[in-house]
Copies of this chain bind each other. A is one copy, B any other.
């Protein structure tokens, strides 16, 4: 097992990464200060891992909430079902919530923990590659609104993140590839060495080589923890983690949540960002080809193919937390492995890219 620490002063916490962690009671329970523990999961993950986590918690007063599976359920209404379950079980302010599942479960459980009685403890047990490498680390929690993705939420840090890479054994190929998109993101935005590594190891990763997987989960969490420690509330540098996301969120929002998995939308979004970066003269067409090639090798989509109008897509892009004075700020690539935030790109170039993809 490897351990990383996200350094946030009093809010610091460990990230455990390894095999068989869901067999180790103390690893989880040493972070639970309360008697009352609620596991929040979804229908898919419950079948696979709920018994296992339940077995770790025999000494606690346990409650469970099993949510429907899918991004389309990441809403305030679903959060309210968690509140209702907490209140019906008479859970107190000292209680602990455990998010067992992917990014949607983690984001919602975290926001529920942030808001229940104005804040209770929570722990992340991410079971998808995407949540292990990205959403479980860093304290971004929340839900979608009909008019925009992740528009409601809180910065709220867990007490620990427990990543058992064995849980990826049950992850289907599509979800696994969606997770790889966020791994590739770290490489493209700030780690050229990691990009080389991924390009070299992508075949082994697609073959699900466990040592390679553990390594990329560790490297992704390492890179993310470093950025979040510098800028928890996204006043600056943290926005780089949004590479591909302004495009990606617009894809998810205009196509409807769930048509593309989040990671798939981000993959297309990163290619759009790369192409815009090339049009803007930062990177060359060879670089764009490299991005495209890696995404394809990772079995990720590189097209949208929809009937969305450019203007509608642009409007959806504008509903973004980085927007300032109606101006869409984008994470572009200075070169591969070095992203930056731009508000000086040519709007025509942006429109051209959108048109090419729609």
Tell which of A35, A87, A140 has the most Cβ of chain B within 10 Å: A87
Q: A321: CB under 8 A from chain B?
A: yes
Partner of A118, one of B79, B140, B147, B326: B140
Q: C-beta contact mask, A59-99 vs B, less than 8 Å → 1, else 0?
A: 00000000000000000100110011001101011100000
Q: A153: CB under 8 A from chain B?
A: yes
Protomer copies:
2
Asked if A83 contacts B119 (CB within 8 A), the reply is no
Q: A318: CB under 8 A from chain B?
A: yes
Asked if B326 contacts A90 (CB within 8 A), the reply is yes
Report the interface size for chain A: residues with CB under 8 A from the other chain.
Answer: 38
With A76-B76, A90-B319, A324-B92 as given contacts, are A155 and B84 in contact (CB-CB < 8 Å)? no
Asked if B84 contacts A147 (CB within 8 A), the reply is yes
User: Chain B contacts of A155 at CB under 8 A?
Assistant: 118-119
Secondary structure of the A side of the interface? mixed
For residues 316 through 341 of chain A, which have their beta carbon under 8 Å from a beta carbon of chain B?
318-319, 321-326
Asked if A152 contacts B83 (CB within 8 A), the reply is yes
Q: A259: CB under 8 A from chain B?
A: no
Asked if A118 contacts B142 (CB within 8 A), the reply is yes
Q: A116: CB under 8 A from chain B?
A: yes
With A76-B76, A154-B154, A326-B90 as given contacts, are A117 and B321 in contact (CB-CB < 8 Å)? yes
Q: A233: CB under 8 A from chain B?
A: yes
With A115-B153, A119-B233 as given contacts, are A148 and B323 in contact (CB-CB < 8 Å)? no
With A76-B80, A87-B147 as given contacts, are A115 and B154 in contact (CB-CB < 8 Å)? yes
A-B contact pairs, 8 of them (CB 8 A): A76-B76, A76-B79, A80-B145, A84-B147, A94-B324, A118-B142, A118-B153, A119-B233
